[in-house]
Chains A and B, each alone.
Chain A
Amino acid sequence: MTANALTPGIVAGRLDPADYAEQFTDLHPRLDDHEALVAADRCYFCHDAPCITACPTDIDIPLFIRQIATGTPEAAARTIFQQNILGGMCARVCPTETLCEQACVREVAEGKPVKIGELQRYATDTLMEQGVHPFSRAASTGRRIAVVGAGPAGMACAHRLAMKGHDVVIFDARPKAGGLNEYGIAAYKTPGGFAQAEVDWLLKIGGITVENGKALGRDITLDGLKADYDAVFLGVGLGGVNALNAPGEDKAGVLDAVDFIADLRQASDLSRLPVGRDVVVIGGGMTAVDAAVQAKLLGALNVSLVYRRGRDRMNASKFEQDLAASKGVRIITNATPVAVRGNGAVREIEFEYTDDDLKPTGQTFRLAADQVFKAIGQTLSGDGLPALEGRKIKVSGAGRTSIAGVWAGGDCASGGDDLTVTAVAEGRDAAEDIHATLTAEG
Chain B
Amino acid sequence: MADLTTEFAGIKSPNPFWLASAPPTDKEYNVRRAFEAGWGGVVWKTLGEDGPPIVNVNGPRYGAIWGADRRLLGLNNIELITDRPLQVNLDEITRVKKDYPDRAVVVSLMVPVNEDAWKSILARVEATGCDGVELNFGCPHGMSERGMGSAVGQVPEYVQQVTEWCKQHSDLPVIVKLTPNITDIKKPAQAAKDGGADAVSLINTINSITSVDLDLFAPEPTIDGKGAHGGYCGPAVKPIALNMVAEIARTPSLQGLPISGIGGVTTWKDAAEFLALGAGNVQVCTAAMTYGFKVVQEMISGLSQYLDEKGIASVQDLVGRAVPNLSDWQHLNLNYVTKAHIDQDACIKCGRCYAACEDTSHQAIAMSEDRTFTVKDEECVACNLCVNVCPVEDCITMVEMQPGEVDPRTGKVVEKEYANWTTHPNNPGACAAE
CA distance A74 to B309 in the complex (A): 11
- Across the interface, name the chain B residue whose C-beta is closest to A42: B69
Contact A67 to B69, CB < 8 A, known contacts A47-B292, A72-B268: no
Complex-state Cα separation, A41 to B69, whole angstroms: 9
Nearest Cβ distance between residue B425 and chain A, in whole angstroms?
A: 44
CA distance A33 to B392 in the complex (A): 11
Is B305 a contact of A74 with CB atoms below 8 Å? yes
Size category, B interface: 10 to 19
Query: Interface on chain B toward A: helix, strand, loop, or mixed SS?
Result: helix
Residue A79 CB within 8 A of the other chain: yes
Residues on B with C-beta less than 8 A from A42 are: 69
A66/B295 in contact, CB under 8 A: yes
A34: CB under 8 A from chain B?
yes
Bits for A256-284, please: 1 = Cβ < 8 Å to B, else 0: 00000000000000000000000000000
CB contact between A79 and one of B71, B295, B301, B392 (< 8 Å): that residue: B301
Known: A45-B295, A63-B297. A75 touches B305 (CB 8 A): yes
Q: Work out how many contacts link A and B, with CB atoms closer than 8 A.
A: 41
Given contacts A34-B393, A75-B305, contact A70 B292 (CB under 8 A): no
A71 within 8 A of B: yes
Smallest CB gap from A69: residue in B: B267
- Give residues of chain A (33-75) contacting chain B, Cβ–Cβ below 8 Å: 33-34, 41-42, 45, 47, 62-63, 66-67, 69-72, 74-75
Assess the A78–B69 pair: CB atoms within 8 A.
Answer: no
B295 and A72 contact, CB distance less than 8 A:
no
Docked-complex contact A71 and B301, CB < 8 angstroms? no
Give the Cβ gap from A126 to chain B, nearest Cβ, in Å: 12
Query: B217 near A: Cβ within 8 Å?
Result: no
Cβ–Cβ contact A72 & B69, under 8 A: no
Query: When the two chains form their complex, are residues B292 and A72 in contact, meaning their CB atoms are under 8 A apart?
Result: no
**Distance A71 CA – B269 CA, assembled complex (angstroms):** 9
CB-based nearest A residue for B302 = A72
The answer to whether A67 touches B301 (Cβ under 8 A) is yes
B187 within 8 A of A: no
Q: Does B32 contact A (CB under 8 A)?
A: no
Nearest CB in chain A to that of B68: its residue: A41
Which residues on B sit within 8 Å (CB–CB) of A45? 291-292, 294-295
Whole-angstrom CA separation of A33 from B346 in the bound complex:
13
Do A72 and B393 touch across chains, with their CB atoms under 8 A apart?
no
Listed by A's residue number, 25 A-B pairs whose Cβ atoms lie within 8 Å are A34-B392, A41-B69, A41-B71, A45-B291, A45-B292, A45-B295, A47-B292, A62-B294, A66-B295, A67-B298, A67-B301, A70-B269, A70-B298, A71-B269, A71-B302, A72-B268, A72-B298, A72-B302, A72-B306, A74-B305, A75-B298, A75-B301, A75-B302, A78-B301, A79-B301
Q: Which 6 A-B pairs have the closest CB atoms?
A: A75-B301, A70-B267, A66-B298, A72-B302, A45-B291, A75-B305
